[in-house]
Amino acid sequence: MNYSNPFVAMLFRDLRIAFRQRAEIMLPVIFFVVVVSLFPLAISPDPAVLKSIGPGVIWIAALLSILLSLQSLFRSDFNDGSMEQILLSPFPGSLLMLARIVAQWCVTGLPLIIISPLLGLLLHLETHVIFVLFISLLLGIPYLNMVGAIAVALTIGLRQAGALLSLLVLPLYVPVLIFGSNAVISAANDLPYTGQLLWLAALLVLASTLSPFVISSALRVSCSYR
Amino acid sequence: MSVKDKIWLWFHRMASPAYFYKLAGQVLPWTIVATTILMLIGLVGGLVFAPADYQQGDGFRIIYVHVPSAWMSMFVYMVMAVNSAIFLIWHIKLSDIVARSSAVIGASFTFLALVTGSIWGKPMWGTWWVWDARLTSELLLLFLYLGYIGLRSAIDDRRVAGKAGSILALVGAINIPIIHYSVVWWNTLHQSASVSKFDNPSIELNMLIPLLCMAIAFKLFYLCILLINSRSELLEQEKRSQWVKELVTSS
Amino acid sequence: MSSTTLSDNNELRADNLIYEINDKLIINGISFSVKSGEMLFIEGSNGSGKTTLLRILSGLMQADEGQITWNDKSIEDERIDYNQQLTYLGHSTGVKAELSTLENINFFSALSGLPQKENSQTAIEWVGLKGNEDSPGRHLSYGQQRRIALTRLLMEPSQLWILDEPFAGLDKKMISALETRFKDHVHNGGILVLTSHQHIELDQVNTSRLQLG
């Protein structure tokens, strides 16, 4: 069997669906920008203050945007019966789920990463700090997408999924939040930041090797329930 | 019979609900007695006979609850994760029951460790809460437990709840070392070395013995609860089987 | 209509299946066997467990006890092989609201992993959706969405069909086209397992019946 065909078919299907609901895919990015722009209003517009809280603010806002975008992941597939067909296809569920996550990252994670330098400017971060911010998000956000998808796969089909999802996901996001925001803070203080970025990369490798399998078996469990 | 065969035989026997039910019933009274005795020794030894700490005075005595519950919080999660793996791989229902009852006990120990840690912080640091690495890890561990309990109780179908919970417990088990390491690392950056609570270079023997008694008593207490819970869960899950029917009609 | 002959010595067997929901036995010790060239018709009132049984047979759910074998191998052990031979149509059609008829059909066929037996245009004509190739799923009625799902019966050369209420939401003409297709499938050595509220009779088809509830 040729494994690239279903992967590509799944990826393009999801991208096509996402781009036909433009309003929905813009939502996480808009949320990201709005949350970040609230902080100067709530705390202080003083550049010195913004510089010190900036990395943490951007990282938390990115994390919450991803959490927001997770709510709709798998939902329509689960409701319209596509998930059953996906699980009953002769291809490994992990492969198809990897395609699903890559598509999800393209439409929710990538825009956040692209727009983050702009938010760095808004919070008066310096250019080399913005560069580190960009790299840290580039390595960290796919991790958030993948680990989040595990929790979504476990809670899909439950009535109170939203609140439960945050409880399941947020503790698992802690390491990435710590390393990600700390890399940026270190860069701002002219301290070495390579270690933190390498940690993010290591976590990303771990998540991308394990999570597709976990997601597909979690979905199999969730779909066995009506 | 080789050792390996013996172990497998034991494993199979333990996995048989009827055998486990009977064995648990026999072990339970002894466990309760041992728990009570050890806890009495530990409490009296720790609260009465152990000398007051030269720095913290009598305030340090809270470690006789705090330290064993902190140890338990991790230990119970480990038991939960191992049983979840056994349940996913070999479909042994008993393991699922153990994992499920462990979650509530583990969360309680974690909560106890947090509360006692924060009470202890008041005389030591003059504040109820310090973002210290251990307390923060403990807090995140509590969230993991609550997530597990929340997920299981949100799913009404017992079979699905068992499998979904097991997957979550394993994901959590992979993440716990990462979370713990990252929190410790984060803490070393943000805090100048504070007085570490457990790294007393030398602890006096008459302080240590009650502590160890308490630690073992806590483990046995966990075992008691586990045995009681498992027995009642087993009866419910196996209500259609022959051995439960015989048990009910004979009594 | 093409008539590729399917392998004619397949067997789907269920042994003493038991499944309970909320302490109520929904499926109580069901056993049966269907072989190539046979049809199994599962009858029963609402809530008698027809859908549950079909989901268990497809591998979406696991029975509490008992086992299902495909050619003497447990379907859980040989999932990839089994899924390749299986076409399952449930209550939900699997049709995406955002995709057009043609895109939906193409995705189904990519997912089946099998070479298409018929091209998608023939399939669209067969289910009477000509002219709707580019309409997005959300503009179609439930019956039309079901027809999209039914194209899989023409396009996938699978051996075993498990169909949950295949006639729901269809008009007379489509029902009779479907019945013809069922006969073709069974006569070519396929296996058909289906539920329906309607009492259906396919002449010259070796039918066994299973009454639930």
| Beta carbons of A76 and C97 less than 8 Å apart | yes
Residues 14-33 of C with CB under 8 A from B: 21-22
CB contact under 8 A, B143 and A214: no
Quickly list DSSP for B170-204: HHHHHHHHHHHHHHHHHHHHHS-----SS--S---
User: How many CA atoms within 13 Å lie on the side-chain side of B18?
Assistant: 9
- Global ipTM: 0.92
Q: Flag if A16 and C99 touch (Cβ within 8 Å).
A: yes
pLDDT at B1 (0 to 100):
63
| Interchain pair A178, B186: CB under 8 A | yes
| pLDDT for residue A197 | 95
Contact A175 B168 (CB under 8 A): no
* Chain segment B142-163, per-residue pLDDT in tens: 999 999 999 999 998 888 999 9
Give the C-alpha separation, C72 to C91, whole Å. 28
**C-beta separation of B213 from B42 below 8 A:** yes
CB-based contact C111 A89, cutoff 8 Å: yes
Beta-bridged to residue C35, according to DSSP, are C11
Give me the tens of pLDDT residue by residue for chain B, a chain 251 residues long. Answer: 677 787 777 777 777 888 888 888 899 999 999 999 999 998 888 888 877 776 777 777 888 899 999 999 999 999 999 999 999 998 888 899 999 999 999 999 999 999 998 888 888 778 888 888 888 999 999 999 999 999 999 998 888 999 999 999 999 999 999 999 999 888 887 654 444 445 554 567 777 888 899 999 999 999 999 999 989 888 888 777 788 888 888 87
Question: Over the stretch C120-167, which tens digit does the pLDDT of each residue have?
Answer: 888 888 888 888 888 888 899 988 999 999 999 888 888 999 999 888
Residue of A nearest to B165 (CA): A154
Cβ-Cβ contacts under 8 Å between A and C: the total is 79
Which residue does chain A place closest to B157, by CA atoms?
A225
Alpha-carbon gap: B184 to the closest alpha carbon of chain C (Å): 43
Taking an 8 Å cut-off on Cβ atoms, the answer to whether B157 and C64 are in contact is no
Q: pLDDT under 50 in chain C at which residues?
A: 1-4
* Contact between chains at B164 and A154 (C-beta distance less than 8 A): yes
Where does residue C162 rank: exposed (0-12), middle (13-18), buried (19+ CB within 10 A)? Answer: buried
Closest CA–CA distance from residue A109 to any residue of chain C (Å): 22
Flag if A175 and B179 touch (Cβ within 8 Å): yes
**What's the pLDDT score for residue A146?**
96
- The minimal CB distance from A84 to the residues C52, C94, C95 is found for C94
Average pLDDT rounded to a whole number, residues A44-59? 92
Beta bridge partners of C42: C195, C210
Q: What is the pLDDT of residue C8?
A: 66
Residues A204, A105: Cα–Cα separation, whole Å: 13
- Kindly tell me if the per-residue pLDDT of A3 is higher than 70: no
Residue A184 dihedral angles phi and psi, to the nearest 5° = -70, -40
The number of beta carbons lying within 10 Å of the beta carbon of residue B121 is: 17
- Contact A171/B164, CB-based, under 8 Å? no
Contact assessment for residue B177 and residue B125, using Cβ atoms and an 8 Å cutoff: no
pLDDT of residue C3: 42
- pLDDT for B96 equals 92
Which residues in A lie closer than 8 A to residue C84 (C-beta atoms)? 90
The answer to whether C17 contacts chain A (CB < 8 Å) is no
pLDDT tens-digit map of A154-198: 998 888 788 899 999 999 999 999 999 999 999 999 999 999 999
Residues of A in contact with C92 (CB under 8 A): 79-81, 84
pLDDT band at residue A226 under the 50/70/90 scheme: low
Provide DSSP, C48-87.
Answer: SSHHHHHHHHHTSS--SEEEEEETTEETTTTHHHHHHHEE
Nearest CA-CA distance, residue C204 and chain A, Å? 31
Residue pairs spanning B and C at CB distance below 8 A: 4
Q: State the pLDDT at residue B110.
A: 96
Quick check: C21 contacting A, CB < 8 Å? no
Look at A80 and C86 and tell me if their CB atoms are within 8 Å: no
Q: A interface mutation test: which of C61, C111, C116 has the most A CBs within 10 A?
A: C111
Q: Where are the alpha helices (H) located in chain A, listed in sequence order?
A: 4-19, 22-42, 47-70, 75-80, 82-87, 93-104, 110-122, 127-155, 161-188, 194-223
Site from A2, A20, A82 to mutate, C interface, most C CB atoms within 10 angstroms? A82
Nearest Cα residue to A58 out of A37, A84, A81: A37
Q: Compute the average pLDDT of residues A104-121.
A: 94
Task: Indicate which of B131, B143, B149, B188 best probes the interface with A, i.e. most A CBs within 10 Å of its own CB.
Answer: B143
Q: Do B156 and C64 touch (CB under 8 A)?
A: no
Contact residues on chain C for B157, CB-CB shorter than 8 A: 21
**Residue C88 sits at the chain A interface (C-beta within 8 Å):** yes
